[in-house]
Structure 1
Amino acid sequence: MPPRRLPALAALLALPGGALAEAPPPVAVTVTDKGCEPASLTVPAGKSVFRIRNQSRRVLEWEILQGTMIVEERENIVPGFVQTLSATLQPGSYQMTCGLLSNPKGTLTVLAAAETAPGGPPDPLALVGPLAAYKHYVSTQVDTFVARTRAFAEAVKAGRLAEAKALYAAARQPYERIEPVASLFNDLDKSMDVRADDFEHKEADPGFIGFHRIEKGLWADNSTEGLGPHADKLLADAEELQRRVRDLTIPPAKMVGGAAGLIEEVAATKISGEEDRYSRTDLSDFHANVEGSRKIYDLLRPLVEKRDPDLVARTDKNFARVDALLLKYRSEDGSFAPYDKLSERDRQALKAPITVLAEDLSTLRGKLGLD
């Protein structure tokens, strides 16, 4: 089924003015190993703050979905911890992800309100240029992603094991650069980039497909046997992403928030080496995430500098520090050292500046009036 079209840019940016409404009380949600408690929520239209407690045994992300589209999400909620998510929602029916992909989704009903919470960026039209430039960047990266995925899939299907291994990291890079947009499509993101940990039965679960299922076959099993259908599905999903992006209007908050989201994911979970656990090509993913974040930041930099030049100066230095650290592990041919060759000290040396960079980038939405 085709994804729900996002509203036009004018509708996304045109928000009513006026005095700020009183903040609503937080809506509590607990995620266990079996699902969400409560499994059904009702909130009024406008801004809601969700307080998500992770009572499961794994790091999770909590998402609000409408059809196949992710409306809002909070990633990397550690077991035993609570995080909050602010979301401005229109009336309608939504779903909530509840831990494992095999768990049932929760339901979220948003009722029409007599008054909607006003607010918004002081200069809506200022984001039109950066959004258009980012849409072009995303489109070109998707085209590259499809071309590289096609070559990767052909090598897998032909049984060319060494070639498939060599093409794996390069195929993933464009996807990792545009993950804030690619992950908007919940069905495709879960199909292409799902990990074994997202299922109760791990690698044995039939829902474990996509890049990491093929990665497991190539490296852990050292074989292409049985991977042909997975390669076909991966390429079909990549081509579907290309079709959807062509008609997509990128939400401003997703673009701006994506600069921090890409770096936060590296600092919170990817630094442990869980992403590419079979191939150990994690540093290639890290570098692509940083490149994608930097692209968003560069497009927004003139707007942010007008509001907070000190933040821009700090962020420029933080990006330079992260780039220099990653460069230490990069070969002349552009490839990166296997992640298992890094010591724990090396990993912590990476984590510190990445965490600082993520913290500063997380303020961009507020600086541009998009919280």
Structure 2
Amino acid sequence: MQFHYSLDLQFFAGEKTEKATPKKRQDVRKKGQTAKSQDLITAFILLAVFFVLLFTGPKMLDQFFTIFHQTFEVYMHQDVTVNSISQIALELFQELLMLLAPVMIAALVGAVLANYLQVGFMFTPESLKVKLEKLDPIKGAKRIFSIRAIVELLKSLLKVSIIGGIVFAILWFNMNDLLGLMNIAIGSSFALIASITVKLGLFASGGLLFLSLFDYLYQKYDFEKSIRMSKQDIKEENKSMEGDPLIRSRIRQRQREMAMRRMMQEVPNADVVITNPTHYAIALKYDENKMDAPYVLAKGVDFIAQKIKLIAKEHDVIMVENRPLARGLYDQAEIGDAIPEEFFKAVAEILAYVYRVQKKI
């Protein structure tokens, strides 16, 4: 019975039910694993491209006709030589590059923007490494017949159905214009086809963007599920982090900083600050409801002592110079502790002086 009970505990400890820790997220991010929808990237690229075509389409069409006329009216009448062919090819390449540059830039901006909105700035050389396990046919078959593959198939069918419906609706509403293409000039035909194509692209991209938002939510859910950790994983991670000297030093440094801030926040509440005067500073407080004797609120040497004195001065805390007392209290009394009995008389005289001064003020 005891054996079965321990097995159950091990099973539940190994079950991945806990959210990933920040360290686990950082590790998988270094490997290039993040929640990202490729459909969202495609939608951004298409929208950017078709928006550019919407505003620059007429000008691009004019440039295309210019290249077309130049080809048949100028280049066709030139002598065919090695130099002429090279010159024609170079000119055509430059003109086509200028023609397509806005579209290419728009596609690049759309892709970068979509990636940045999803994962931020991320450079992961580790994800570029060749992994031979990806060539394993058994693992490949498992990926093909997995639940994820079925989900991707359903997503593809949904995309084809919705985007196909959008394309059919736009073509149906423009059916009369399309049937009348044979009755208009070639230039007008090109312009009409380009206008309908841009309209198709914008509406189809909008539909894809709508679907990709749901795809992104699914990818995020699937990613969070894939990086879940078991309770045992979290324990081992904490153990390894505690064993890291760098992590330990950072924790100690953070603890010292927090303790220092708390100590400095207590200085304004002190009754008196006893100084050396330059090297030591000890802030004391007497509260009969808390302790029977005065106790130390803060203490420090050199830079910390100067900071204690600066805060005390800003809050009108009286400072008294007493070198042996300051040194003795610093060596023998800890923060939060009552002063040793041997200093009672000296501290009582100082507090009596402070109370007299405060009454006069």
TM-score (norm 1): 0.20
CA radius of gyration, larger in: 2
Structure showing the higher strand proportion among its residues:
1
Structure showing the higher helix proportion among its residues:
2
